[in-house]
Chain A
Amino acid sequence: MTSEAIAVRPLQYLQAQMRWRWSEAAFWLATLLPFVLTPNYLVLASQIAITALFVLSLDLILGYAGIVSLGHAAYFGVGAYTAGLLSKWGFGEPLTGLLAAAIMAGLFGYLTSFIVVRFRHLALIMITLGIGLVLQEAANSASWITGGFDGLQGIHTWPILGKFRLDIYGYTAYGYSLAGLFVVFLVARRIIHSPFGLALRGIRENGLRMPAIGAPVHAHIRTIYTIAAIIAGIAGALLAETTETVSLEALGFQRSADVLVMLILGGTGRLYGGLIGAAVYMVARDQFSGLNPQYWYFWIGLLLIAVVTLLPNGILGGLAHLARRMKVTS
């Protein structure tokens, strides 16, 4: 009887975590608002949804498994170039493009995960940075296939599901990106609230003790790294298909750094942190787009310093802290 009681408790814990909350439903309903409220900004909204998906993929490895990566844009770029090239070579069916991008990015992620898993601390940061830079240099030199600095031209995306054509207002683009984000988010949510997701958090907290309870640390890290690479690849493919162009910037260091900033801003290790961070960052950058990019980075720098000194857990962490304090005082 006692063994049964113990066996039930973790399951109940996971099921309680899995339950949908009102705030979550409200959040996803709110993502539909741009269609009605700001129809002029749907192109931006589509970019935000794609970036949010990319941030979500980084959150899976950084926020949950504790793997700091400075080269995550590599997988985004692999996905973007796969979908872009497929379309350029005459097959612009978007869902097939997503699938191909997911497979290629996942393959690249799986191969590199064997390297990544061996490192910790500074060496890990350097290795991920190195992988990103090597891929960027490779894409730059192989300009006969990637278009080099000029970017990949001549992509044409067929109507989605054979019905919805991409329009200049971004109705289709936003709908498509949002649907992609939502579907992948459901998968990520399921993964995080599974025993595997719990094991990942254990690895983040103490990677040395996890083997003692029988968790295969390296295999787990390889799995989540591959999954994150697949998601990043899907995000890259979405960007290539909705904008019908791919540039070298898709896999540059800048993108890796930006996505890290967004995740930190929103809060790591919380599924919604990355989404909110992406939205806040992208809207702010759009509002300040008149600014010289050099000066934009001044504010990003200050923001980073402020977030790590004052809000160590990001926006969502700060809100949660505030909510807890209100509960205690009332």
Chain B
Amino acid sequence: MPSVFGVLFDGFAYGMLLFLMSVGLSVTLGMMNFVNLAHCSFAMLGGYVAITLMNAFGWPFLATLPVAFIAAAAASVVLERIFFRRFYNSSDLDQCLLTIGIVFVSIATAAYIYGTDQQPMQLPPYLRGSIAVMGLDLPVYRLFLIATALLITVVLVVTVETTRFGAQVRAAVNNQRMARGLGINVDGLFAATFALGSGLAGLGGALAIAMLGLDPQFALTYLIYVLIVVSVGGLGSISGSFAAAMLLGFSDMAGKYYVPSIGAFLIYLVMIALLMWRPAGLFGRR
């Protein structure tokens, strides 16, 4: 039986990963109401970019992370220009179908190039092993993961709360039409947020390999988790996504350690119960 603190620690690390992968979707959904089910495909892209650079080109792990971010962001901009922008005023159903189509294509493409197996991943020596903190053995990589994700979260919150760009984003999420009326270029803002959010997902995907593994089904498996985070947290709410990601991380880890027989059952029930209680999510206003 693992200690409670060990489970909490793992849940925290897992929750931070989920937060990185879902915060972009939450903000873009809150702003444009665009249901982008392909969000996790960008995370998967980041993962494959990182693993290719490491295994085929011998790049150090840390150097691959910014590239994963940029690659996912660039891919999202291309897709946004070609497909997504035509669908901002379409029904939820059309948006869902378009993006689930992209998910299917991305999964098949990844399977074609890399095969369906889990990708082998070799962490650099300084991120391997574990260190003892107050009598607990904490894996170094998870500490690194938490530190990185916390840093990004702080930067994100400071950007959104204090900069002009952040104020515009908050205005557009709050009331898109009013923001347009005030002369804010919502379309440009949306494209920028979309690229940023997809980049964060790509980074999350690269960071996730050592903890969750990477295979072509990644885009679909974690899509469900990301959607749970977004809908439970409330659209457009960064703090809501954070709380929901933590809740999901803890409950999933606790479920897997203590009651493995019921599997993912617990999470889905928690999600349904939370949505029954607050249909707009924990921090949602609509």
A, B assembled together: yes
Complex interface: chain B residues within 8 A of A282 (CB): none
Q: How far is the CA of A133 from the CA of B224 in the complex (A)?
A: 10
User: Which of A127, A257, A300, A305 has a CB less than 8 Å from the CB of B272?
Assistant: A127
Which residues between 212 and 249 of chain B lie within 8 Å of chain A, taking CB atoms? 216, 224, 227-228, 230-231, 235
Q: How far is the CA of A125 from the CA of B33 in the complex (A)?
A: 14
Is residue B102 contacting chain A, with contact meaning CB distance below 8 A? Answer: yes
Complex interface: chain B residues within 8 A of A133 (CB): 224, 264, 268
In the complex, which residue of chain A has the Cβ closest to the Cβ of B100? A304
Complex interface: chain A residues within 8 A of B231 (CB): 122-123, 126
User: Which of A122, A138, A261 has a CB less than 8 Å from the CB of B35?
Assistant: A122
Q: Is the beta-carbon distance between B235 and A122 smaller than 8 angstroms?
A: yes
Q: How far is the CA of A123 from the CA of B107 in the complex (A)?
A: 25
Q: Is the beta-carbon distance between A130 and B271 smaller than 8 angstroms?
A: yes
Q: Main SS of the interface on chain B?
A: helix
Q: Please, what's the 1-or-0 string for B81-111, where 1 marks a CB less than 8 Å from any CB in chain A?
A: 0010011001011101110111111111101
Complex interface: chain A residues within 8 A of B271 (CB): 126, 130
Q: Could you say which of B123-131, B150-158, B274-282 contacts chain A?
A: B274-282
Chain A: minimal CB distance from B156 (Å): 22
Q: How far is the CA of A167 from the CA of B29 in the complex (A)?
A: 52
**A115 and B265 contact, Cβ closer than 8 Å, known pairs A68-B96, A297-B107, A304-B101:** no
Is residue A303 contacting chain B, with contact meaning CB distance below 8 A? Answer: yes
Q: How far is the CA of A307 from the CA of B94 in the complex (A)?
A: 10
Q: Is the beta-carbon distance between B93 and A68 smaller than 8 angstroms?
A: yes
Is residue B182 contacting chain A, with contact meaning CB distance below 8 A? Answer: no
In the complex, which residue of chain B has the Cβ closest to the Cβ of A115? B276
Q: Is the beta-carbon distance between B107 and A68 smaller than 8 angstroms?
A: no
Is residue A140 contacting chain B, with contact meaning CB distance below 8 A? Answer: yes
Is residue B116 contacting chain A, with contact meaning CB distance below 8 A? Answer: yes
Q: Please, what's the 1-or-0 string for A105-139, where 1 marks a CB less than 8 Å from any CB in chain B?
A: 00000000001001101110111011101100110
In the complex, which residue of chain B has the Cβ closest to the Cβ of A268? B93
Q: How far is the CA of A312 from the CA of B230 in the complex (A)?
A: 28
**A301 and B224 contact, Cβ closer than 8 Å, known pairs A118-B279, A308-B97:** no
Complex interface: chain A residues within 8 A of B261 (CB): 141
Complex interface: chain B residues within 8 A of A264 (CB): 93, 97
**A137 and B262 contact, Cβ closer than 8 Å, known pairs A123-B275, A125-B92, A257-B100:** yes
Is residue A294 contacting chain B, with contact meaning CB distance below 8 A? Answer: yes
Q: Is the beta-carbon distance between A304 and B97 smaller than 8 angstroms?
A: yes
Q: Is the beta-carbon distance between B263 and A304 smaller than 8 angstroms?
A: no
Q: How far is the CA of A115 from the CA of B277 in the complex (A)?
A: 11
Q: Is the beta-carbon distance between B109 and A312 smaller than 8 angstroms?
A: no
**A298 and B97 contact, Cβ closer than 8 Å, known pairs A137-B268, A141-B262:** no
Is residue B112 contacting chain A, with contact meaning CB distance below 8 A? Answer: yes
Q: Is the beta-carbon distance between A294 and B216 smaller than 8 angstroms?
A: yes
Q: Is the beta-carbon distance between A137 and B103 smaller than 8 angstroms?
A: no
In the complex, which residue of chain A has the Cβ closest to the Cβ of B284? A123
Q: Which residues of A contact B (CB under 8 A)?
A: 62, 68, 115, 118-119, 121-123, 125-127, 129-131, 133-134, 137-138, 140-141, 257, 260-261, 264, 268, 292, 294-295, 297-298, 300-305, 307-309, 312
Q: Which residues of B contact A (CB under 8 A)?
A: 29, 33, 35, 83, 86-87, 90, 92-94, 96-98, 100-109, 111-112, 116, 216, 224, 227-228, 230-231, 235, 261-265, 268-269, 271-272, 275-276, 279-281
What are 27 A-B interface contacts by the 8 Å CB criterion?
A62-B93, A68-B92, A115-B276, A121-B33, A121-B92, A122-B230, A123-B275, A125-B92, A125-B227, A127-B272, A130-B272, A133-B268, A137-B263, A141-B261, A141-B263, A257-B100, A260-B97, A297-B104, A297-B108, A300-B104, A301-B107, A305-B102, A305-B105, A308-B90, A308-B97, A309-B86, A312-B94
